Each structure stands twice: as structure tokens, then as C-alpha cells.
Amino acid sequence: MTTRVGFLGLGMMGKPMASNVVKGGFSTTVYDVSQEPVKDLVKLGAKASGSPEEVAKVSDVVIIMVRNDAQVEEVALGKKGVLQALSKGSTIIVMSTAAPSLVKKLARECGKKGVGFLDAPVTGVRKVAEGGLTIFVGGDEKLLERHRPVLAKMGENIFHMGAVGSGEIAKLVNNAISIATGWATAEALGMAVKGGADLKKLMVALSATNSSANSWSLQNWDGLMHMKKAFQPGVGAIALAGKDMALFLEAAKEVDQDVPILQCVSQFSDLSKLKWPGPEGWV
């Protein structure tokens, strides 16, 4: 592939995403504060770099998949950030879950230097290794089409949502709905178990195609249970629920939208405080 890709952030999601880009044949330069995932990517054929700025010097498109807004802004606009070194006509793609207001700010800064910008957050943690993510893209549609071959190595469903920031809005709505239904499902099933219901039979019945209670949470309950058992503060997708709900509420406030139910849900987004019913008891 002629497009040179830079990839920043090799965590739980970033590492397999970058791996799929490398396996897809793209010349890829990677950076992470932790050296272990960098070494693993180098073994696959990637090139290591010492800073975001160095990545930008050898890349046509730089993908940012770091943890939070502060890190996104630092690697993009910091003293050794990518915008310091990207050439005119290159592109930044933020695939982290970030505030719509932040990606709009980054897009404006990129525009001043003739650099393209897309926000393209993802969902589908259980399919990340196989390149089966869903990607919500905000920004110029022609720019998306230019970089679709790279994104297609990471995602099987790529949706253009509109202008810059609309990708992040779609992702925050996705997460808000997912978190709210997940927590509500846990509480409702807990009542059922204590009331004497057979959890396995109940799950089968509720997961029926025409059941009004059917949801992603029910369909993926085993996966959620696994993540709950393996929960560590600050680690993994579920651990970021509080951050994602805070971003959703911030975005809602900016557009003057009342969200009282989701405001309530946000108070319980710390998974460590919840007990969920499972086949082997409560976790």
C-alpha cells in the first residue's frame, strides 16, 4: 500500500486495530508510552517511533487511539504532537471516544495547516481482533473515501455520520444507550433471581427475537459477565463507562438537551459498585 500510516495508542483496542492495519499491508509507524505493545507490533512488521511528532514526519495519515481527551489533545497539539510535523494534504483521524467540541477544535487547527481531519470512534470490542468493528465517521465524505481502505482493515461497518463531531456524537449515544440498558438489565435480572426465577431459562426467553426486552446486553451477557469478573479500575472498556457518560452529559448540555434518565444512570456508571447475577452466582 502506498499510504503511510501512523498509529498512536496501542492499548486494549489500539493494539489489535494497529495490528490489522499492519497485516493489511500498510507501511505503519507506531508509538505508545508503553514499549511492550510497540515491540509486539514491530514483530508484525511495523516501525517504532519515539514521539507523536516523529510518527507524523513519516506518515500520510495519523490515527489517534489514546485513552481520553487530555491525551488526544496532547498527542495532536502538544509540543511534540503530530500537527507540528504533518505535511499539507495529510490527515489526522481521531478514533478515540472524545468530546465533539474537542474534535471540532482539532479540525479547525488542522484546517489552518492544510491538514485533513476525521473523527472516527469505534464500537464492537468483541470483534476488534478480527477487524469487525463498527466505525462512526464525522468529516468530509470524500476524505473518508480516500482513507476507507485503511479503516476497512479495522472495521466491517463504516458509517459516514455527517460533519466533524458527528462521529463522536454517534459513539456517545451508542455508549449511553448500551450503558443504560446494561445496568437496567443487571438490576432487573437480579430481582428475577431473588424472586425465584431460573436465570438460564429467563435469558433464553428474553433473548427471543420478538421479545420486547431483547437487547445487545442480553445477547452478549456472557461477554459482559466475563468483563465484570475481570474488572480492574481504569482498565478495559467497562472501566471507561464513567468517562463516556460524562462526555455524553457534557455534549447534551452544550445543545441544551435534558436527559434526566441518563443523568441518573451516570451516577451508577462505576461498575465496581454493582453486583450482577450470573450462572455462577453474583459478581
Mean of the per-residue pLDDT values for the chain? 93
Q: Which residues are catalytic?
A: 171
pLDDT digits (tens, 9 = 90+) for 10-53: 999 999 999 999 999 999 999 999 999 999 999 999 999 999 99
**Residue 201 CB-half CA count within 13 A:** 5
Query: For 231-235, what is the mean pLDDT?
Result: 69
User: What confidence tier does 194 reach under pLDDT thresholds 50, 70, 90?
Assistant: very high
> DSSP 3-state assignment of 260?
helix
Instruction: Give the confidence band of 54 by pLDDT, cuts at 50, 70, 90.
Output: very high
Residue appearing with cell numbers 495490528: 19
The separation between the first and the last C-alpha atoms of the chain, rounded to the nearest angstrom, is 47
Per-domain boundaries in the chain: 4-163, 169-282
pLDDT of residue 234: 65
pLDDT greater than 80 at residue 269 = no
Count of positions (residues) in the chain: 283
Task: List the single range of 99-108, 143-152, 176-185, 261-270 with lowest mean pLDDT.
Answer: 261-270
Please report which confidence band the pLDDT of residue 272 belongs to, taking 50, 70 and 90 as the band edges: low
* pLDDT, mean of residues 167-172: 98
Structural domain 169-282, CATH architecture: Orthogonal Bundle (1.10)
Does position 197 have pLDDT exceeding 70, yes or no?
A: yes
Please name the amino acid found at residue 82: V
CATH of domain 4-163: 3.40.50.720
In which band, very low, low, confident or very high, does the pLDDT at 225 lie, cut at 50, 70 and 90?
confident
Confidence at residue 249, expressed as pLDDT on a 0 to 100 scale? 97
Tell me the pairing of strands 277-278 and 155-162: unpaired
Q: Please report the pLDDT score of residue 227 as a whole number.
A: 78
Distance CA 110, CA 87 (A): 10
Residue 79's pLDDT band (cuts 50, 70, 90): very high
